[in-house]
Amino acid sequence: MNVQNIARVRAFATKDGSEIRELLAHRNSCIRNQSLAEARLPPGARTAPHYHPATEEIYYILEGSGRMTIGEDAQDVGPGDAIAIPPGAVHTILCTGDSPLKFLCCCAPAYEHSDTVLLAGTKHGPGESPTDAHPRTP
């Protein structure tokens, strides 16, 4: 049985700049075709506009408030909101509140740096090289 507790999962920065704790994926469990992670953005922070050629995502907002943009559409989001992001859709999320924005990211197939394409002129996450290996849980 694979059980991961968020308190024991090491955080890392994704290419889009969010802080992620990967809960379940092929890197740390028997799961092979998807991944589940918790993402965190501090107040005022935004993920770099990006898309995933092969991966579809679901964001589920746990805490905080944000502004989700997919393509030309933007909408305010908060706790309890689930957001569908199809493969190839350019997207970004901004933390609009005074407290961190926490949300779950479900990716199918599993998240990989190599399937994240930043738009021209955007930067990868702090301290993260686009070619860095994915961390494993301790």
pLDDT digit string, tens, across residues 6-61? 999 999 998 898 899 999 999 999 999 999 999 999 999 999 999 999 999 999 99
Handedness of CA 27, 33, 38, 39 (dihedral sign): positive
CB 63 within 8 A of CB 99: yes
CB 56 within 8 A of CB 87: yes
Closest by CA to 116, choosing from 129, 127, 103, is: 129
Residues 20, 1: Cα–Cα separation, whole Å = 23
Q: What is the reported pTM?
A: 0.86
